Chains A and B, each alone.
Chain A
Amino acid sequence: MSHPTYHGFEAVIGLEVHAQLSTNSKLFSSSPNAFGNSPNRNINPVCTAQPGALPVLNKKAVEYAVKAGLATNCEIRLRSIFARKNYFYPDLPKGYQISQFEHPICEKGWLDIEFEHEPEKKEQKRVGITRIHMEEDAGKSQHMSGYSLVDLNRAGTPLIEIVSEPDFRSSTEAVAYLKKLRAILQYLDVCDGNMQEGNFRCDANVSVRKIGAEKFGTRAELKNLNSFRFLEKAIEYEIQRQINVINSGGKVVQETRLYDSAKNITASMRSKEEAHDYRYFPDPDLPPLVIEKNYVEAIKKDLPELPDEKATRFVSAFGIPEYDAKVITSTKALASFYEGAVDHSANEPKLVSNWLMTEVLRKLKEDEKEIEDCPFTADKLGQLIQLIKSGEISSKIAKTVFEEMWLSGDSPKSIVEKKGLIQVSDPGAIEEAIRKVMQASPKQLADFRSGKDKLFGYFVGQVMKETQGKANPAMVNSLVMAFLKGEKS
């Protein structure tokens, strides 16, 4: 396995991921767990920390945390403890966050990741997951000039924090892990995984050491990494920054650094000395969380198909290349889109995969969109494949139809009908077009007949032009040949 090195240094990276669980209500209260409402609507006495209000644990959130633990090969603790993490901030209503500290619900898991440090050189790695614990989210502060506003809609939203071992040696590995982890949580239906909306967030612990050194270097914790690209850029920047500090005779200090995506730098937020003493202790309002082995087993049995399993099935059942299968299963939405399209494609999974991998993904990339933003639904891609398969349209026309689908979201059938793009397979109509072309090209005809075979392509092209590309290409080929050879006229 190749180890990326940085001029004699090696990077050591660990990730802490916060994933919001998509339960209906909050972690310790019955307030709705919803995004996008106007400020301070999804609140009640518990999540606004009114005096006397008490937390009651959301069972669904426990189920989701256990699911996440099982899907990442963790050991599930049958007894875990909620603890208070104390600090003052206006969007933290109780003045403490209920979290898990000494005894988290999941521990000692792992994930296998795949990545390429160099093009076409696939590598694999097993990454350790130290722990997954449950905790509540804080509210949101909005800083105006001279005052701040607090919105508690998010306060009390259930989160799981997934802490990896410091097993990554490059930003590429870290990004591969984060993508895989997000896909798994989405497959489990426990987290929406939307990084922009902040329901899937990531902090990175980054340090560097001389190659061959045993001891870890001093680490910096990077925050504000709200996209895969930012994670990658921030880590690369930070590695270089730390190497520069050491090379110029300085020492890396333990601190929290904020990534500034506009400037592509990380800047110190607070040092170790300024770090909070969170005064963790078991929350006396919540008894230990005790779950039964049978409960965990039942959840295990009900786990959905996860990305790796799905990719394997796609390869064996649909005969698509492993690479394509991995790409298509990299997000739940993409895999569902693919399966949805296959269902409507009249059994053409390979063709669907080709179109998805080339056309759809290209378009999404151009527009910087996700599959969720695709202007048309999966069944419409399937229908397009059907039209190609049945010969109603040519592959070439299909591309035109596809472009139109991208613009309007309409079904391929209605586009074909509206624009009159149905493939012409009527020999009479094609022959008519050939006659027209031959009449208009006496010189070319003479040249062909005197041995210039290459002109065959010219005639085919002219006929396609005459039929506005709608003529069935196979029929055009054979009929043009027949005319040129004088078998028809």
Chain B
Amino acid sequence: MLPKEKWKKAWEWKKLLAEKKTSPKEICEEYLKRAEQDKTNAFIKLTPEWARGVAQSVSQDSQDVMSGIPIGLKDNLVTKGIETTCGSKILQNYKPPYDGTVVKKLKDLQAVVIGKCNLDEFAMGSSNENSAYGSVSLPQKENYVPGGSSGGSAAAVAGGLVVHALGSDTGGSVRQPASFCGVVGLKPTYGRVSRYGLVAFASSLDQIGPLALDVQDCADMYDSIAGYDPLDSTSANRKNESCGLRVREVRESKSKRDEKLKSLTVGLPKEFFGEGLSDDVRASIDACIQKMRAKGVKFKEVSLPHSKFALPVYYVVAVSEASTNLSRYDGVRFGPRILPHENKTTLEEMYSATRGALFGPEVKRRILLGTFALSSGYYDAYYKKACQVRNLISQDFIRTFHDVDVILGPTTPTVSFEKGAKSNDPLSMYLSDIYTVPVNLAGVPAVSIPSGLGNHQLPVGLQIIGPSFSEPELLSAAATIESLLEE
């Protein structure tokens, strides 16, 4: 059973609220209760006071899709006065002096924030085993990973602890856990959602994205957070079109949906169906394709030839940016400070003791790699070269979208795996992002929706990729496929 069959979606709650069959307070208490009894460790911190405060003041009749709806925030989203740890000891007890833009928007919309969700430290990881606050379990199967880095957000949605949640996606960190947990996750076009107040991992790749039970909720949440922000220089100054409305159209009219399916041209990149793709995932995706074909969807085999370089390029670009983004955690202005020799500690000793003790191994590995890649004499061979190849990867997508509306494939090569299975083998862990990483490098939007179940009855994710700034078309395509799969 997929989470969306088990828990109420936001639009369902809104209906019940409109019919006065429940109240924001009741909804809030129901979710808080489940969150307090959570055994998956999805939260780093619960925020019941914040949640209750909003639930009490929000109007029963508020039309906005977010108002009164319990949500979770990945703990790398900055919340004023409320601990924001990034899953790291280096930000233990750090209370930011400001709200990020997205958090501010959700506050204004009176969303009910249940808590700050667990994550891999500084969003670096694919299994949520890299959190200083403990790993997160897959709600469907204990001792399995929920994916990462937005593992807590995905598990909270799948476990019914929140209605939907925000994550961040640098190389797949929203879509991969969405896929593992059987929920919907969107990585918007780079620049669509403000990064102001998102703790940076890799600035040119990071994007905040929603995790939800279905495409409708995902689209509604996206509408609430997207838009130009003058506080983020990489934010796109373009008009926003409502995705929620487009999805609603498809969902409410079967004929419209079928019409849309007939007009859809889908690209299947051969690079996403090759070696490394596990049989159960392949079977699930193939079954989807068959269903779609039967409804008249046109398929084309396409090629993204440079995507084979995506992982190495990603692990140069992302770690290089990360190595300097994380320089500010130095024990000087915030977070704990470690002085090994009390009164006689030198500055160098303070830096290395603080950073040495409070960063986890994966974060340190990436800082070292990034520092090396940017260092004098290596810059041209690594960072500069990686940026050039990144451009080629981006061109592959642009070219392909001349011929197809969307690109479709698996979100991840396998379903969720057991905790510990890959934690000592970073390279095999990195491979779980092989289909998601090219999307971040190209800056295009992509959504993962559940396609069915694979091994151990664990969810499989279908990734749909669109051209830059095509979220309305992308999400309405996702809604048609979702609706078809429900039949």
List A residues at the B interface (Cβ < 8 Å): 45, 48-57, 84, 86, 88, 90, 93-96, 146, 150, 277, 279-281, 284-287
Q: In the complex, are the beta carbons of B196 and A93 less than 8 A apart?
A: no
Q: In the complex, are the beta carbons of A56 and B233 less than 8 A apart?
A: yes
Q: In the complex, are the beta carbons of A54 and B233 less than 8 A apart?
A: yes
Q: Does B37 contact A (CB under 8 A)?
A: no
Q: In the complex, are the beta carbons of B324 and A88 less than 8 A apart?
A: no
* Chain B nearest CB, measured from A74 CB (Å): 25
Q: In the complex, are the beta carbons of B376 and A284 less than 8 A apart?
A: no
* Chain A nearest CB, measured from B267 CB (Å): 29
24 example contacts (A-B, Cβ-Cβ < 8 A) are as follows A45-B98, A50-B78, A50-B96, A50-B98, A51-B94, A51-B200, A52-B76, A52-B100, A52-B200, A55-B233, A56-B233, A90-B330, A90-B332, A95-B330, A150-B332, A279-B324, A281-B320, A281-B374, A281-B379, A281-B383, A284-B202, A284-B234, A284-B321, A285-B233
* Chain B nearest CB, measured from A316 CB (Å): 48
Q: How far is the CA of A287 from the CA of B237 in the complex (A)?
A: 13
Q: In the complex, are the beta carbons of A49 and B328 less than 8 A apart?
A: yes
Q: Which residues of A contact B98 (CB under 8 A)?
A: 45, 50, 53
Q: In the complex, are the beta carbons of A48 and B333 less than 8 A apart?
A: yes
- Given A45-B97, A286-B233: A90 and B347 interface contact (C-beta under 8 Å): yes
Q: In the complex, are the beta carbons of B195 and A54 less than 8 A apart?
A: yes
Q: In the complex, are the beta carbons of B100 and A88 less than 8 A apart?
A: no
Q: In the complex, are the beta carbons of A287 and B324 less than 8 A apart?
A: no
Q: In the complex, are the beta carbons of A56 and B231 less than 8 A apart?
A: yes
Q: Which residues of A contact B321 (CB under 8 A)?
A: 284
Q: Which residues of A contact B96 (CB under 8 A)?
A: 45, 50-52
Interface residues on B, range: 35 or more
Q: How far is the CA of A49 from the CA of B78 in the complex (A)?
A: 13
Q: Which residues of A contact B197 (CB under 8 A)?
A: 52-53
Q: Which residues of A contact B195 (CB under 8 A)?
A: 52, 54
Q: In the complex, are the beta carbons of A94 and B196 less than 8 A apart?
A: no
Q: In the complex, are the beta carbons of A52 and B375 less than 8 A apart?
A: no
Residue picked from A52, A53, A86, A146, most chain B C-beta under 10 Å: A52
Q: Which residues of B contact A95 (CB under 8 A)?
A: 324, 327-328, 330
Q: Of all chain B residues, which has the CB nearest A289?
A: B233
- Given A86-B327, A96-B324, A96-B327: A54 and B334 interface contact (C-beta under 8 Å): no
Q: Does B371 contact A (CB under 8 A)?
A: yes
* Chain B nearest CB, measured from A467 CB (Å): 73
- Interface hits, B164-214 → A, CB 8 Å: 195-200, 202-204
Q: Of all chain A residues, which has the CB nearest B387?
A: A282
Q: Does B351 contact A (CB under 8 A)?
A: yes
Q: Which residues of A contact B91 (CB under 8 A)?
A: 51
Q: Does B132 contact A (CB under 8 A)?
A: no
Indicate which residue in A50, A55, A88, A286 contacts B351 across the interface (CB closer than 8 Å). Answer: A88
Q: In the complex, are the beta carbons of A93 and B375 less than 8 A apart?
A: no
Q: Does B230 contact A (CB under 8 A)?
A: yes
Q: Of all chain B residues, which has the CB nearest A30?
A: B231
- Interface hits, B364-388 → A, CB 8 Å: 371, 374-376, 379, 383
* Chain A nearest CB, measured from B109 CB (Å): 20
Q: Does B286 contact A (CB under 8 A)?
A: no
Q: In the complex, are the beta carbons of A51 and B330 less than 8 A apart?
A: no
Q: In the complex, are the beta carbons of B231 and A52 less than 8 A apart?
A: no
Indicate which residue in B84, B343, B375 contacts A51 across the interface (CB closer than 8 Å). Answer: B84
Q: How far is the CA of A54 from the CA of B78 in the complex (A)?
A: 12
Q: In the complex, are the beta carbons of B374 and A53 less than 8 A apart?
A: no
- Given A96-B327, A281-B383, A284-B203: A54 and B351 interface contact (C-beta under 8 Å): no
- Given A50-B97, A56-B231, A279-B371: A94 and B328 interface contact (C-beta under 8 Å): yes
Q: Which residues of A contact B477 (CB under 8 A)?
A: none
Interface secondary structure of A, over-half rule: loop
Q: Of all chain A residues, which has the CB nearest B200?
A: A52
Q: Which residues of A contact B376 (CB under 8 A)?
A: 277, 279
Q: How far is the CA of A281 from the CA of B325 in the complex (A)?
A: 12
Indicate which residue in A52, A146, A285, A287 contacts B78 across the interface (CB closer than 8 Å). Answer: A52
Q: How far is the CA of A55 from the CA of B320 in the complex (A)?
A: 19
List B residues at the A interface (Cβ < 8 Å): 76-78, 84, 86, 91, 94, 96-98, 100, 195-200, 202-204, 230-234, 320-321, 323-324, 327-328, 330, 332-334, 343, 347, 351, 371, 374-376, 379, 383
Q: In the complex, are the beta carbons of B78 and A57 less than 8 A apart?
A: no
Q: Which residues of A contact B230 (CB under 8 A)?
A: 56
Q: How far is the CA of A284 from the CA of B231 in the complex (A)?
A: 14
Q: In the complex, are the beta carbons of A94 and B327 less than 8 A apart?
A: yes
Q: How far is the CA of A146 from the CA of B91 in the complex (A)?
A: 26
Q: Please give 8 more A-B residue pairs, beta carbons under 8 A apart, in addition to A95-B327, A95-B328.
A: A45-B96, A51-B78, A51-B199, A52-B195, A56-B233, A86-B327, A88-B327, A146-B343
Q: Which residues of B contact A84 (CB under 8 A)?
A: 324
Q: Which residues of B contact A57 (CB under 8 A)?
A: 233
Q: How far is the CA of A236 from the CA of B177 in the complex (A)?
A: 66
- Given A50-B98, A52-B96, A279-B376: A93 and B333 interface contact (C-beta under 8 Å): yes
Q: Which residues of B contact A90 (CB under 8 A)?
A: 330, 332, 347
Q: How far is the CA of A307 from the CA of B327 in the complex (A)?
A: 44
Q: Of all chain A residues, which has the CB nearest B198?
A: A52
* Chain A nearest CB, measured from B476 CB (Å): 30
Q: Of all chain B residues, which has the CB nearest A86?
A: B324
* Chain A nearest CB, measured from B392 CB (Å): 18
Residue picked from B197, B200, B202, B327, most chain A C-beta under 10 Å: B327
* Chain B nearest CB, measured from A43 CB (Å): 10
* Chain B nearest CB, measured from A446 CB (Å): 91
Q: Of all chain A residues, which has the CB nearest B383?
A: A281
Indicate which residue in B202, B320, B330 contacts A88 across the interface (CB closer than 8 Å). Answer: B330
Q: How far is the CA of A281 from the CA of B230 in the complex (A)?
A: 24
Q: Which residues of B contact A50 (CB under 8 A)?
A: 78, 96-98, 334
Q: How far is the CA of A286 from the CA of B334 in the complex (A)?
A: 25
Residue picked from A45, A286, A287, most chain B C-beta under 10 Å: A45
Q: How far is the CA of A51 from the CA of B97 in the complex (A)?
A: 10
Q: Which residues of A contact B234 (CB under 8 A)?
A: 284-287
Q: How far is the CA of A390 from the CA of B423 in the complex (A)?
A: 95
Residue picked from A50, A51, A88, A279, most chain B C-beta under 10 Å: A51
Q: How far is the CA of A86 from the CA of B343 in the complex (A)?
A: 28
Q: Which residues of A contact B351 (CB under 8 A)?
A: 88
Q: How far is the CA of A287 from the CA of B190 in the complex (A)?
A: 13
* Chain B nearest CB, measured from A94 CB (Å): 5
Q: How far is the CA of A285 from the CA of B233 in the complex (A)?
A: 7
* Chain B nearest CB, measured from A27 CB (Å): 12
Q: Which residues of A contact B334 (CB under 8 A)?
A: 50-51
* Chain A nearest CB, measured from B80 CB (Å): 10
Q: Which residues of B contact A281 (CB under 8 A)?
A: 320, 324, 374, 379, 383
Q: How far is the CA of A84 from the CA of B203 in the complex (A)?
A: 13
* Chain B nearest CB, measured from A260 CB (Å): 23
Q: Of all chain A residues, which has the CB nearest B191?
A: A287
* Chain B nearest CB, measured from A44 CB (Å): 8
Q: In the complex, are the beta carbons of B233 and A287 less than 8 A apart?
A: yes
Q: How far is the CA of A93 from the CA of B334 in the complex (A)?
A: 11
Q: Which residues of A contact B78 (CB under 8 A)?
A: 50-52
Q: How far is the CA of A54 from the CA of B203 in the complex (A)?
A: 10
Q: How far is the CA of A287 from the CA of B235 in the complex (A)?
A: 10
Q: How far is the CA of A111 from the CA of B307 in the complex (A)?
A: 51
Q: Which residues of B contact A93 (CB under 8 A)?
A: 328, 332-333
Q: In the complex, are the beta carbons of B332 and A285 less than 8 A apart?
A: no
Q: In the complex, are the beta carbons of B330 and A284 less than 8 A apart?
A: no
* Chain A nearest CB, measured from B124 CB (Å): 14
Q: Which residues of A contact B375 (CB under 8 A)?
A: 277, 279
* Chain B nearest CB, measured from A205 CB (Å): 19
Residue picked from B86, B202, B203, most chain A C-beta under 10 Å: B203
* Chain B nearest CB, measured from A136 CB (Å): 14
Residue picked from A49, A86, A90, A279, most chain B C-beta under 10 Å: A279
Q: Which residues of B contact A146 (CB under 8 A)?
A: 343
Residue picked from B234, B324, B334, most chain A C-beta under 10 Å: B324
Q: Which residues of B contact A279 (CB under 8 A)?
A: 323-324, 371, 374-376, 379
* Chain B nearest CB, measured from A111 CB (Å): 32
